[in-house]
Structure 1
Amino acid sequence: MVFISIYEIEAAAGTRRSFEGEPIKTSLQFPRSEQTAQGLDPAQVVGVQVRGDSMDGTLADGDWVLVNRAARDPKQEGCFCCW
């Protein structure tokens, strides 16, 4: 099992926030095999809460998402959280 830090910050359009210096609210355990099967480095995965409705239908206000901080290729498909 690996621990994923869940930060007490929100992913939203507007004011920029950084993970550095932000408090960790809690951590969740995920099987290491799930992380490695997806090519993820658990040290680079964090959780944040979605705030706002600009992505309704995909992400709802209040949803929790995992963010892979190592994925920096803007040509990839998906949702992105920029910090």
Structure 2
Amino acid sequence: MRETVIRLETFYASPLGLAAQSAVKARLSTLWTNVAGHNILGFGYCWPMLNSYTKTANRVVLAMPAGQGALAHAESTRSDDMLDRR
């Protein structure tokens, strides 16, 4: 069973979720040292890990399963959310 976007957002706001976010972001920053001008596509609920890239990447697209739900992130004009109904 998939977690809902609300439960995932609540988890990532918790101390354990913030620690998980920090660990993933630290690893991504070693792999993606310069994303300027690039497009980033994330699958699943990945906004907490990819939101910092909206400042430098050309675009950040978040593809989430429809059963999970999606949240729009209006604070960024360079990110798009989409649902996959499959």
TM-score in terms of structure 1 length:
0.28
TM-score in terms of structure 2 length:
0.27
Q: Which has the higher contact order (CA 8 A, sep 6+)?
A: 1
Report which of the two has the higher share of strand.
Answer: 1
Report which of the two has the higher share of helix.
Answer: 2
